[in-house]
Structure formats: C-alpha cells, structure tokens
Structure 1
Amino acid sequence: MKSEAWIFGICTAFFLLVTPSYWFITGDPTGTSALVMTTLLATLVTFYLGFHASRMEPRPEDRKDAEIADGAGELGFFPPYSWWPLWCALTFSLVVLGVVIGWWLVIIGAGLGVVALTGWVFEYYRGEHAH
C-alpha cells in the first residue's frame, strides 16, 4: 500500500499547488471550492493508505526483493455475472424518466427498483451461487 499512498500523496501536492493558482487566475468560487474538497479528499486517502501501510505486512508489490511467484495464489472473491445491475439501472432510469413524464411512473419505477435492489443484494443467498 505504500505505492498507493505515494501516488495519492503526489496528487495531494498537485491539488495543493493548483487550487490557489486557480483562485488567483479565475476568481471562481465554485471551482475553487471543488478543488479544495478534492485536495482534502486526496489528503484523506493518502493518510488512510499511509496509516495502514505502516501497520500491515508488506505485500509483494511493496517489497523490492519480491519475485513473481510471491504474488501467486488466491487473489480473492470475484463475483460471477449478474443481471441485477442491469435491472437496477433500468428501474432508476424509469424513476428519472417518471420525473419528466409523470409522478405515477416514479411510483412504478420505485416499486420495481425495490425488487431489483433486493434481488441484487440477496443474489448470493439463493440459487446457483448461494453461500
């Protein structure tokens, strides 16, 4: 995680230099406040990654003497294909379209959205991929 902390540290330094420059050049309060929040967010991520990198065992990516074989093995759980994100996106678009067309469509979209979101959340509790 040290490399990620360094990357976000460089981004923090960049945003720290760009923010006052942007304010003096444009005088735009909206863009300046967005850059200030971006700087603070990059700082938060930098400190989080740096804090955890100092307390955990170095990963193979963080060691200079690491071999390719050190990174072998199980990398984690990757979910199989799922149709639920598609249904959630379609119901969300139905809700947004309902704001334009009529509120009755928002209610139908919200009802279908609850079903789609519930299916997405609980897809690993039933069926082929149940745990």
Structure 2
Amino acid sequence: MRIQGHLFAWIAVFMLAVAVVYGLWSKEPVGTTALFLSFGLSAMIGFYLIFTARRVDTGAQDNKEADVADDAGEMGFYSPHSWAPLVLGAGAVCAFMGPVFGWWFLYFTAPLLAIGLWLWVFEYYRGENQNQ
C-alpha cells in the first residue's frame, strides 16, 4: 500500500506543476481549475494510502523480494450482495437530471436518495446480514 501512496503523491506533485504552468501560460480558468482539483484529489488519495500503510501489515507489494503467490488469500470483507447502491445510483441519476428538466424534479428524487442512503447505511442491521 505504501507504493501506491507514493505513486499518488508523485502524481499530485506532477499535477501541481502542470496546473501552475498551464495556469500561467494559458490564463484559461476552467482547465486550470480542473488541474488543481486533480492535484487535490491525487494528494488526498496519496495521503490516505500512506497514512493507512503505517497502520496495516506490510503487503506483498511492499516487499521487493515477494512472489506473486505471497499476496494470495483473503483480501478483506466485501458485501456479498446489495441493492442499496443501485437505488442510490438511480436516485443520483434522477437528481442530476434535475437541472436539466427543472429544479422541481429534485422534490421527487429526494425520497429516492433518502431511501437508498438509508438502505446502504443500515444494510448490516437487518435481514440475513444482521450481526448477532
């Protein structure tokens, strides 16, 4: 995980340099803003990965003498199935269509978003996935 963190940190440094050069050279605000936002996103991901790498065990990707087989096995817990992201995604699509068709459309999509978010947050508090 440390390797990926450093990779994103170097991408952040590169994006910052490109954003400054592009902003001074072109004086175009939209592209400059997009490049600065890309810098911020890659810096956040890099910081998270480097910070998390200190708290977890060293993976095979951090060992220079590791084999591919050393990384085999369970990688973590993943939900077996869930309908909540589908409902939340449908609500988000409808919400993003609000400015297209009119802001009144958001009144009808807000309950869909709330239901999807509620389903996702409380997914492991009910049904077959309920913790004992």
Shared fold per TM-score greater than 0.5 = yes
Q: Identify the residue that residue 129 of structure 2 maps to in structure 1.
A: 129
Q: 2:65 corresponds to which residue?
A: 65
**TM-score, scaled relative to structure 1:** 0.71
Cα 1:9–1:93 shift into 2, 3 Å: closer
C-alpha displacement at 1:77, in angstroms?
0.5
- CA offset at residue 62 of structure 1? 0.5
Aligned residues: 130
**Alignment partner, residue 12 of structure 1:** 12
Cα deviation 1:30-78 (Å, max 9, x = unaligned): 3223323433443444445445545654321101122344323321101
Q: Which has the higher helix share?
A: 2
Q: Which amino acid aligns with 1:10?
A: W
Q: Distance in 2 between matches of 1:5 and 1:26?
A: 31
One-letter code aligned to 2:72? A
Cα gap change, 1:39 to 1:98, in 2 (>3 Å) = closer
Aligned-partner Cα distance in 2 for 1:9–1:119: 35
CA distance in 2: counterparts of 1:85 and 1:52, whole angstroms: 25
2:74 pairs with 1:38: no
Q: What SS does the corresponding residue of 2:124 show, helix, strand or coil?
A: coil
Q: Which has the larger radius of gyration?
A: 1
TM-score when scaled to structure 2?
A: 0.71
Letter in 1 for 2:15: F
Describe the shift of the 1:76–1:112 C-alpha distance in structure 2 as closer, same or farther (beyond 3 A): same
| CA distance in structure 2 between the aligned counterparts of 1:128 and 1:5, rounded to whole angstroms | 36
Greater Cα shift, 90-99 or 3-12: 90-99
- Tell me the residue number matched to 2:77: 77
**Aligned position for 1:111:** 111
Where does the alignment leave 5 or more consecutive residues of structure 1 unmatched? none
Q: 1:54 to 1:95 in 2, by over 3 A?
A: closer
Unaligned runs of at least 5 residues, structure 2: none
- Distance in 1, Cα, partners of 2:94 & 2:54: 47
